[in-house]
């Protein structure tokens, strides 16, 4: 097969959230493998911190005329996509999250195909991440256009088998959906002595460290995290480190005050260097109502942090119950507390499971295994187009 480097345009939500993280890390990995990567979005993706000669960022400016009650971002994005594709001679676009990115890509493809003097076809790949299908896509006002843009995509991938099934079921889509799971760079996400000063800072008396990492949306069930932790610290000396921010943060902070746990719980807010902080924890709580994948748990596992999560959506594809983490029903805080107490009070078992978690991340979800799947998929799409 033809292995020449490709020129790829990537669009994602640049803010905090799994889909943006995956898109950014994918771009970085592709750039390191010699491809030219062009991010096209309204701001620089948050995990894009280091400059790289193969990575370019194109900001989408949305004009705000008084007439526009709703500034048309989708159109500005489509225009920028088409421009960047033409100027930099892109081979394809890869959009993360169907709404509205897939629709903009569809417009950009049409524009570049039919513009004056242009015949070149600009295929696009859509990657489904979860809430674009399970929540937003099912909103009656968005469903038809989401389905349309998925069907018109030149290639569709989803980040778990669960999400693939869900999409086929909910949308009745006929196209092939290729499962390319999320990944973690195991060289960056790993436990070494260097980041253990965080542990000393958070747990100066040798307490166990429990971590939660999310965007604090209702789907993450942040109050459950506090409830579970309350039970844990009654049995095991422990600290809880809350990373991230979002709508339910203040509710969680109030719960901590009511339960008089202020000395045991730290709210760090949004953090850039998650890979340096995760390894300083022993256990991660992820009691979400739904996760199509649960990237935070995978990042924790790579850092030898044992996840205690809900058996929701795609999570059982990532965590093997009793082997490299624990799974319980949504809302079953007593069971999640029990598993946590069990593992935190048994040094040997904790160590063994932490190693298994790392092993799973490395053997199944390491970037070096997953990125070639995207490269192969792009080439297939290009050959078909
Ligand atoms: O879960 C969120 O609120 C963020 C959301 C997103 O689209 O950014 O996350 C989804 O995509 C992640 C990356 O592929 C997955 O790891 C999450 O499980 C998925 N969230 C849901 O399905 C609720």
Give the ipTM of the model, two decimals please. 0.93
| Structure-token pair, residue 64 | 């705000």
| Least-confidence region, from 139-143, 209-213, 262-266 | 139-143
Residues 168-181: pLDDT tens digits? 988 888 889 999 99
Distance 260 CA to ligand 1 centre (A): 32
**Contact 294 CB / ligand 1 (< 6 Å):** yes
Structural domain boundaries in the chain: 7-183+366-384, 193-364
- Answer yes or no: is the C-beta of 216 below 6 A from any ligand 1 atom: no
* Per-residue pLDDT at 191 exceeds 70: yes
pLDDT at 185 exceeding the cut of 50: yes
User: Of the given ranges (1-5, 15-19, 41-45), which has the lowest mean pLDDT?
Assistant: 1-5
**How far apart are alpha carbons 100 and 106 in whole angstroms?**
10
Query: Over the stretch 279-332, which tens digit does the pLDDT of each residue have?
Result: 999 999 999 999 999 999 999 999 999 999 999 999 999 999 999 999 999 999
CA of 64 to the centre of ligand 1 (A): 30
Q: According to the CATH classification, is domain 193-364 in 3.90.1200.10?
A: no
Which positions ≥6 away from 131 have C-beta within 8 Å? 219, 292
Structure confidence at residue 186 (pLDDT): 96
pLDDT tens per residue across span 27-77: 999 999 999 999 999 999 888 888 899 999 999 999 888 888 888 999 999
6 CB within 6 A, ligand 1: no
Yes or no: say if 103 and 149 are a contact pair by the CB < 8 Å rule: yes
Ramachandran bin of 230, using left for φ above 0, alpha for ψ from -120 to 50, beta for the remaining angles:
alpha
What is the phi/psi pair of residue 269, to 5°? 75, -165
CATH no. of 7-183+366-384: 3.40.50.2000
What is the reported pLDDT for 137?
66
Q: Looking at residue 302, what is its pLDDT?
A: 98
Q: Are 239 and 307 in contact (CB under 8 A)?
A: no
Are 328 and 310 in contact by the 8 Å Cβ rule? The answer is yes
Instruction: Give first-to-last CA distance, the chain, whole Å.
Output: 16
Q: What's the pLDDT tens digit per position in 102-155?
A: 999 999 999 988 656 555 689 999 999 987 777 766 777 888 898 999 999 999
Q: At 177, is the secondary structure helix, strand, or coil?
A: coil
Residue 95 · residue 105 · CB < 8 Å: yes
Cα 242 from Cα 269, distance rounded (Å): 7
What pLDDT was estimated at residue 1?
Answer: 47
Pocket test of ligand 1: the residue of 22, 292, 307 to mutate, having most ligand atoms within 8 Å of its CB, is 292
131 lines ligand 1 (CB under 6 A): yes
**Nearest Cα residue to atom 21 of ligand 1:** 291
Sign of CA dihedral 347, 352, 355, 360: negative
């Amino acid at each position: 097969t033809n292995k020449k480097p490709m020129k790829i345009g990537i669009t994602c939500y640049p803010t905090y959230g799994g889909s943006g993280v995956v898109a950014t890390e994918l771009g970085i990995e592709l750039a390191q493998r010699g491809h030219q990567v062009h991010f096209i979005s309204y701001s620089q993706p948050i995990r894009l911190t280091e400059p790289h000669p193969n990575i370019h960022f194109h900001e989408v400016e949305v004009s705000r005329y008084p007439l526009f009650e709703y500034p048309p971002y989708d159109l500005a994005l489509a225009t920028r996509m088409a421009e960047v594709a033409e100027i930099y001679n892109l081979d394809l676009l890869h959009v993360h999250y169907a709404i509205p990115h897939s629709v903009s890509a569809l417009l950009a493809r049409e524009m570049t195909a039919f513009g004056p003097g242009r015949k070149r076809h600009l295929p696009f790949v859509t990657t489904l991440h979860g809430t674009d299908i399970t929540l937003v896509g099912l909103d009656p006002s968005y469903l038809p256009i989401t389905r349309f843009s998925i069907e018109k995509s030149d290639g569709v991938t989803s980040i778990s088998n669960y999400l693939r099934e869900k999409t086929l079921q909910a949308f009745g889509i006929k196209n092939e959906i290729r499962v390319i799971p999320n990944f973690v760079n195991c060289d960056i996400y790993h436990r070494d002595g260097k980041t253990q000063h965080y542990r000393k800072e958070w747990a100066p008396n040798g307490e166990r460290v429990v971590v939660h990492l999310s965007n604090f949306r209702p789907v993450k069930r942040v109050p459950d995290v506090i409830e579970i932790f309350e039970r844990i610290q009654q049995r095991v000396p422990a600290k809880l480190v809350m990373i991230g921010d979002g709508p339910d943060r203040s509710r969680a902070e109030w719960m901590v005050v009511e339960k008089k746990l202020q000395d045991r719980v730290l709210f760090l807010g949004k953090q850039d260097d998650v890979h340096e902080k995760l390894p300083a924890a022993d256990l991660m709580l992820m009691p979400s109502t739904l996760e199509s994948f649960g990237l935070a748990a995978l990042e924790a596992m790579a850092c030898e942090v044992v996840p205690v999560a809900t058996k929701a959506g795609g999570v059982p594809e990532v965590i093997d119950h009793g082997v490299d983490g624990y799974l319980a029903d949504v809302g079953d805080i007593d069971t999640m507390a029990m598993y946590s107490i069990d593992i935190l009070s048994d040094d040997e078992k904790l160590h063994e499971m932490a190693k298994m978690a790392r092993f799973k991340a490395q053997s199944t979800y390491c970037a070096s295994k997953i990125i070639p799947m995207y490269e192969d998929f792009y080439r297939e799409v290009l050959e078909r187009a």
